[in-house]
Amino acid sequence: MTVAHIKRIDAPLHGVIKIPGDKSVSHRRALLSLLCREPVHLENFGPGKDCQATLDCIERLGKTVKVSGADVTISGEMSVREAEFDAANSGTTARLAMGLLAGMPGKWTIRGDTSLSKRPMERVAAPLREMGALIELTDGKLPARIMGGRLKSIRYELPVPSAQVKTAIMLAALHADGVTEIREPIVTRDHTERILGLRPARENDANLWRLDPSEVRINGDVLSAPVPGDISSGTFWMVAAALVQGSQVTLKMVSLNPTRTGIIEVLQKAGLQISTQNLRESAGEPVGDITITRDGSLHEFSLAGKDTAAVIDEIPALAVMATQCKGQTIVSDAGELRVKESDRLAAIIQNLRKMGVNILDTESGFSLNGPQQLSGATINPAADHRIAMAFALAGLIADGETKILQAECADISYPQFWQELIQISGRVVQLREEQ
């Protein structure tokens, strides 16, 4: 395994970073290419292993995938009627593929790695079965066996805010007779809706979506476009800048989709200065550059309800930041973190405690009083990319040395993370292969 050894940083962070392509957008465009005859060209495709799992899946289904650096070209036609594939660690690959394949004639089996095979899949299978899909799970988890065929439309109210479940239903609805309506309890990321050109079913009700398959046009032109940078990956640099007084970091060409920018509001609430430049639209997604400046003290930024849901992937990094904020930060309604790539609440709380932080586990969140000085420790990220990267930032401000075990797990979403960190931190980080 790779172990990252991190020492306390002694100067503010300064840098301009090009953020890799958005994971959610990359998965969606690649999977939807299965419905196109024309080639699809994707620049700045998400570089991590998760997005690679989606490319592997569509290759198994008969598509030809050519990768040149961050550019991906997908061509050919879906040619098989039976396939088994491995979604590896990627919940988005597994759940979105379940939705798409449920409506495509054939026999499909989806597997995952140890972590993914523990994650709940019934939340996706249940609505798909209502649509008439034939899906067998294994105790509500992967492997999933699907007999794809024609589906019927449904009206469905999501019990949990989940863009993956919402998207799985939308992808299935493309092969359903009639109009499907989906209500989400809280607005979640809307990349699929933007690609499919959907509108909320009613004005002034952004939570109700309507999909009429006869109105949706998917072709190579709709899907071929540069993928904006992933603001969830960019969060690590924003939080790194937040941790060290006098820092300033600019992120280039990042998605500014309002369903993803909750992190900017949270950082502003904590006292950071954030500005955006070069705003434009790329294939229906707003993009721009973000500059974050730490010039002053940080204060608490409690989160609950829809505000928690809006930054669900960013909470590991925000938990590290909370230790440096003055006052009591309470994060509640974050129970979904228990079923991510690891039990992220447990990983956050256990590892912060190892660093000497006094933090209260509230079952669906945590509460801590800041600021608290961190002590270097050995961090076990439970093979979870976002935990490893969040605690690397903690290492930058901890006394003594911090060791991040399984540092290679950052490859799931951000293979360049450690090289960028070494550059921006002035080399307080060393990577070593260890037993």
* Among 54, 164, 257, 342, interactor with ligand S3P by CB under 6 A: 164
Sign of the four-CA dihedral 428, 288, 286, 52:
negative
- Binding-residue total with ligand S3P (CB under 6 A): 10
**Rg of the Cα trace of the chain?**
21
Residue 162 in contact with ligand S3P, rule: CB under 6 A? yes
Give the shortest CB-430-to-ligand S3P separation in angstroms: 29
Give the shortest CB-415-to-ligand S3P separation in angstroms: 17
Sign of the four-CA dihedral 423, 424, 425, 429:
negative
Residue 257 in contact with ligand S3P, rule: CB under 6 A? no
Q: Is the peptide bond before 371 cis (omega within 30 degrees of 0)?
A: yes
Residue 89 in contact with ligand S3P, rule: CB under 6 A? no
Q: Which long-range contacts (CB under 8 A, 24 or more apart) does 419-422 make?
A: 420/17, 420/237, 421/240, 421/392
Residues 106 and 124: their CA atoms lie apart, in Å, by: 19
Closer to ligand S3P at the Cβ: 162 or 261?
162
| Residue list 92-111, contact with ligand S3P (CB under 6 A) | 92
- Which member of 230, 289, 313, 384 is catalytic? 313
Give the shortest CB-10-to-ligand S3P separation in angstroms: 34
Give the shortest CB-96-to-ligand S3P separation in angstroms: 7
Contact mark string toward ligand S3P, 181..200, x via CB under 6 A: --------x-----------
Give the other-Cβ count within 10 Å of 25's Cβ.
32
Which amino acid is residue 334, in one-letter code? A
| Residue list 294-323, contact with ligand S3P (CB under 6 A) | 312-313
Residue 329 in contact with ligand S3P, rule: CB under 6 A? no
Query: Which one of 61-69, 126-134, 163-171, 233-241 is the stretch in contact with ligand S3P (CB under 6 A)?
Result: 163-171
Question: Is 411 known to be catalytic?
Answer: no
* Among 17, 163, 174, 290, interactor with ligand S3P by CB under 6 A: 163
Closer to ligand S3P at the Cβ: 235 or 247?
235
Residues 238 and 274: their CA atoms lie apart, in Å, by: 9
Contact mark string toward ligand S3P, 11..30, x via CB under 6 A: -------------x------
Closer to ligand S3P at the Cβ: 46 or 103?
46
Residues 417 and 415: their CA atoms lie apart, in Å, by: 6
Give the shortest CB-345-to-ligand S3P separation in angstroms: 14
Give the shortest CB-377-to-ligand S3P separation in angstroms: 26
Closer to ligand S3P at the Cβ: 140 or 426?
140
Query: Which one of 157-165, 262-270, 300-308, 420-428 is the stretch in contact with ligand S3P (CB under 6 A)?
Result: 157-165
Give the binding site for ligand S3P (CB under 6 A).
Answer: 24, 92, 162-164, 167, 189, 312-313, 336
Which positions are annotated as active-site residues? 313
